[in-house]
Structure 1
Amino acid sequence: MSGAGPGGALLTRRTVHGATALRGGPRRRPSPYLLFGGLFWLVMSLAFWRVPMCCDFGQHAAVVERLKENLLHPAHPMADLPGQGSPYYSPYAVAQGLFAKVTGLAGWEVVKLSGPLNLIVLLTGIGRFVRGLTDRQWAPVIALFAMVLLWGTRMAWWSGYLGLMSMTGNLGYPSTFAIGLAFWAWAWAGALARGGRRGPWPYAGLGALCGLVLLVHPISSVAAVIGVVAFAASGRRLWIWSATAVTALLVAACWPYYSVFALVGDASVDGIHRQLYTEMPQRFWLAALGVPALWLRLRRDRRDPLVIMFALDCAVVAYGWLSGHYTYGRILGLTLVPLQFALAIELAAPRPWGWRRGALAGAAALGACVGFCQIQAGAVVPRALDPVGFDQPPRWPDYTWATSHMRRGDVVLTDGYRPTRSVPGYGVNLVAPAWPDPSLAEKTREHRLSDVRSYLSPDSTRARRAAVVRRYHVRWLLLSPDQKVPGEAVVVDWGPHTGEVLARVNGGGGAGA
């Protein structure tokens, strides 16, 4: 008989005889998921820690830095501007900022520490969710490895994508925490759909959890709500689920830092997300191995929650493409979950297997090997131990060589792709933020970007540059090796690996690069 641990039947009861029975009867032993999930947690935590700050990491570290500086009224995450209305200031981020304030840790350190904690939420949520769908002990283990390996043979690296390679970069992000909570919400919804409880309060509790997911990562909440709807549609007494919806909306409406409802219809980041719809077959085709398993579930029950979840996810992704609101493509990673988990549950069935299930198992094993060797292996195989040269996670340069000269709140002018995404994570500000943010009008951000380009233009005059420096209180320039240092700037340091130039613009005499 299975015992329900916090991750979903983490311990199994085993009947024994003799001395053990005399000492108190049955004893418990770890379930397969506890053993393999624990090993996975250790390996992925180490893999996440070895990858330096890159991509969106600096943005999330900057959010923690601003909250550490002023928990109630944080500034804009990347610029010397007010931050009221920024969706980055979620309950998750506020908790991180409070932790940073209490401990004195830097923002990037808090984000690094968040990775293993987020992974615990994710792994326990997966265990709980799968155990709500089946009592087969190996199903959560197979589901976990299907989720991280069965993607495609083209890199799919994005926040909220849970392939091995992508997880090395995004474990510390709010999206991972939100997805972990989504699995818990689906497990809760499944229990309610099976009729285990009566009365509105459990449904209201589920609504509070959904409201939290909505605030932590609004786009992931779309997939989370779809999952809850799928379980509601698979059960009876649909009217009582209104308590879930009302509570979720109330929780979201009470958050003081930003209005999640103001994000509805916001198209400012749709252009950035258009690339999510490129090369989709190459990025996701291995997950299609779960189609036969999902088809079997449909034949057994036309109201199967995984089938409904997959259909609704596909509809939202299609809407994003057809409407031009490409941000909805962010749920593509979770759209694969019904396929991956249906396959896992089918393969966890006890033997003897028929030839169809055996063929499906062989195809899944081959697909996992292909996905691992083609894309995912470099996430967990360090270069020093790599016998064949697997692709490795990005290794961006460290900018402490530059930020060590700066004071908190200093303004830096740069147009480099990597520094604009990294240096704010050390507590300094940019003239022009790298990403759109509802707390800053997009026209204002575009004007600032134009001023940066004007300053760095070879045709810029000294008077024009001085006007930009005064307008934005610029103290530092961070330039690529091929950019000319203005005559009025003083070179302070050079990047040890990139050759980038750090110059001070209010330090007097001229200098050359």
Structure 2
Amino acid sequence: MSADLLTRTRARGATALRGHRRRPTPFMVFGGLFWLVMSLAYWRVPMCCDFGQHAAVVERLTADLLSPRHPMADLPGDGSPYYTPYAVTQALFAKLTGLAGWEVVKLSGPVNLLVLLTGVARFTRAVSRPTTGPWAPVFALAAMLLLWGTLGTWWSGFLGLMSMTGNLGYPSTFAIGLTFWAWAWTASLIRDSAPRWRGHAGLGALLGLILLVHPITVIAAAVGVAAFVVPAHGRQWLSRAAWRRYGVGLPWLLAALAACAVAAMWPYFSVFSLAGDSSVDAIHARLYRNTRERFWLGALGLPALWARWRRDGGRDPLVLMFGLDLLVIAYGWFTGHYTYGRVMGMALVPLHFALAVELATPRPWSRRRRALGVAAVAAALTGFLTVHAGAVVPRSLDPVGFKQPPRWPTYAWVTQHVGRGEVILADGYRPARSLPGYGLNLVAPPWPDPALEERERSRRWSAVHTYLAPNSSPTRRAEIVKRYGVRWLLLSPRQTAPPEAVVVAWDPRSGEVLARVRGA
């Protein structure tokens, strides 16, 4: 054996030995444990809230991948923004495995959580200082889970510990995980002195994917990208000489064009048509209520943001990100486009990560940092005990009586009698949001959708209330049954079955009654 070959062999052996001895990072340990616990906690919560809607989307795509029907009614689904690349991937998986829509949404939770956790680790490194310790991602995850407020926020895109038990399998969670990756990718592109054209095009494609998967999240994603790019290149963009010599803005223009191209090529709906859509603004008006109670613990990150402001002269990405997010939220408030309030969940990210990086700086600790650490632990315990404990502590092991995640009744018993695609008339809050998840069609969808004109949706709800009214005439009920193809009724315990309905089954837990419309 030659001396050169022997040297290379020894070098490879030494490298392998160092890799074998390398210890896992704190985030690998605690992040892995959290992934396991959170996946189990998410799995134990039954279908509720928006879950049925996302399961219904998978059901419709599984039935017809190229031309799916409306997610919740027996109507065309052309232009529905729920048919995203994320949902199409879920439907392909359902076709391959034969799983139901609700099962695929459940299995998506651990996958989304993995994307989110890896994104948190990458983004933490992107905003850390050279002296930041290895515990920064762990602290960032803990802050993101617990430092919200003392009033729970059960809403898609708000990734507190409690709300994760319900929305872990939703597209918003996947989009937020991709957003963390996009921010970390942006930071890596900025660190390179020379433009990386493929890298910028790839970043733009990722932003286009986020836009398609969850359009409101891309606003926060774009704000974060701008918070990294503007401090790094803002002055160069104002210099004509820099443009002539380096073309500093061209790579980022390429990224923007790639994002628009990816979004424009999606065949199921036009995401750009959603820009002026206000059909869901009224639903999101609630986000602007009780904001102090729901977010005040996150304010503990303000001292850390202030320290970054003083150190970097206002050019720190987290500081700019926080300020721009507040402008977006204010825009939603003053214009009445309350859907922009969904950015509130992402507006806490700069506070959480600034606090985590500050506390992960190695010792010696100053008196101010020590006080901040004590306050952070106290705030995390407050948030956990008042809002989030029930997410991971089962009721059977709960000695205190923590608030638990919603536990809606299952409607699997309905599917023993009603086939996929059949139309069922129901006006209850829970059944209207759950039944489509089993592949059934409603007369009136509970949520707005661009695929269904809002006036038509209102007419359908009026027909539902008319049919169930005690004083409705048999002729009017027959017209409604014929017009909408109604075959089944799901009645609450307070509602009386009309003469033409035959009771088929009932649920002893909820008291709800399933009836078949005679002659339908």
Instruction: Give the TM-score taking structure 2 as reference length.
Output: 0.92
Is 1:261 aligned with 2:261? no
Structure 1: segments with no counterpart, 5+ residues? 1-19, 509-513
Residue 469 of structure 1, aligned match among 481, 490, 515: 481
The SS at the match of 1:24 is: helix
- The 1:25–1:485 alpha-carbon spacing in structure 2 relative to 1, beyond 3 Å, is closer
Q: Is the 8 A contact 2:189 2:196 kept in 1?
A: no
Measured in 1, the distance between the counterparts of 2:111 and 2:29 equals 18
Where structure 2 has 5 or more consecutive residues not aligned to the other structure, the ranges are: 1-12, 234-247
Tell whether the 8 Å contact from 1:379 to 1:392 is kept in structure 2 after alignment: yes
Whole-angstrom distance in 2 between the partners of 1:132 and 1:365: 24
Q: 1:186 aligns with which of 178, 183, 186?
A: 183
- Give the secondary structure class of the aligned counterpart of 2:488: strand
Letter of the 1:189 counterpart: T
Q: Which residue matches 1:447?
A: 459
* Greater share of helix: 2
Structure 1 length-normalised TM: 0.94
1:499 paired to 2:496: no
Q: Does 1:219 pair with 2:216?
A: yes
Letter matched to residue 264 of structure 1: A
Asked whether the equivalents of residues 186 and 224 of structure 1 are also in contact (C-alpha less than 8 Å), the reply is: yes
Q: 1:101 — aligned with what?
A: 95
> How many angstroms does 1:198 deviate by?
2.0
User: Corresponding residue for 1:127?
Assistant: 121
Shift of 1:136: 2.5
Distance 1:307 1:165 in 2: 27
Match of 2:106 in 1: 112
1:158 counterpart = 2:155: yes
Equivalent residue for 2:282? Answer: 271
**Which residue of 1 is the match for residue 4 of structure 2?**
none
Contact 1:121 1:181 in 2 (8 A): yes
**1:328-477 aligned within 5 A:** 328-477=340-489
1:140 partnered with 2:137: yes
Structure 2 partner of 1:487 = 499
Residue in structure 2 matching 1:248, options 253, 256, 259:
259
Q: Tell me which moved more, 27-36 or 53-62.
A: 27-36
Paired letter, 1:44: M
Query: CA 1:126/1:432 → structure 2, altered by over 3 Å: closer, same or farther?
Result: same
Query: Per-residue deviation at 1:431?
Result: 0.2
Residue 157 of structure 1: SS of its match in structure 2? coil
C-alpha spacing 1:197/1:398, structure 2 compared with 1 (3 Å): farther
Deviation per CA, 1:109-143: give whole Å up to 9, x if none: 00000000000000000101111222521100000
The alpha-carbon deviation at position 484 of structure 1 amounts to: 1.2
Q: Describe how 1:4-15 pairs up with structure 2 within 5 A.
A: none
The AA in structure 2 aligned to 1:316 is V
**Are the equivalent residues in 2 in contact too, given 1:150–1:286 (CA < 8 A)?**
yes
Q: Which AA in structure 1 matches 2:213?
A: V
Contact in 2 for aligned 1:412/1:429 (Cα 8 Å): yes
Deviation at 1:403, TM superposition (A): 2.0
What letter matches 2:252 in structure 1?
Answer: W
Deviations 1:418-457 (A, max 9, x none): 0000000000100000100001111110111111111111
Displacement of 1:278 after TM fit?
0.5
Residue correspondences, number: 489
Look up the equivalent residue of 1:201 and give its one-letter code.
Answer: R
| Residue in structure 2 matched with residue 78 of structure 1 by the alignment | 72
The residue type paired with residue 24 of structure 1 is L
> 1:238 Cα shift?
4.0
Secondary structure in 2 matching 1:436: coil
SS class of match (1:155): coil
**CA distance, structure 2, for counterparts of residue 403 and residue 310 of structure 1:** 47
Letter in 2 for 1:384: S
- Asked if 2 retains the 8 angstrom alpha-carbon contact of 1:490 and 1:507, the reply is no
Contact 2:152–2:294 under 8 Å retained in 1: yes
Q: CA deviation at 1:265?
A: 1.1
* 1:60-71 equivalence runs, <5 A: 60-71=54-65
Secondary structure at the counterpart of residue 72 of structure 1: coil
Give the AA of the match of 1:54.
C
- Contact 1:125–1:183 (8 Å) recurs in 2: yes
1:24 maps to what in 2? 17
Q: State the percentage of identical aligned residues.
A: 66
Which amino acid in structure 1 is aligned with residue 505 of structure 2? D
Give distance in 2, aligned partners of 1:373 and 1:68.
41
Are the counterparts in 1 of residues 390 and 405 from structure 2 also a CA contact under 8 Å? yes
Deviation at 1:215, TM superposition (A): 0.1
**Retained in 2: the 8 A contact 1:84–1:439?**
yes
State the partner residue of 2:195: 198
Kept in 2: contact 1:130–1:140 (CA 8 A): yes
SS at match of 2:22: strand
Corresponding residue for residue 240 of structure 2 = none
Q: Of the two structures, which has the highest relative contact order with CA contacts closer than 8 Å and spacing of 6 or more?
A: 2
* 1:471 to partner: Cα distance: 0.3
Deviation at 1:270, TM superposition (A): 0.3
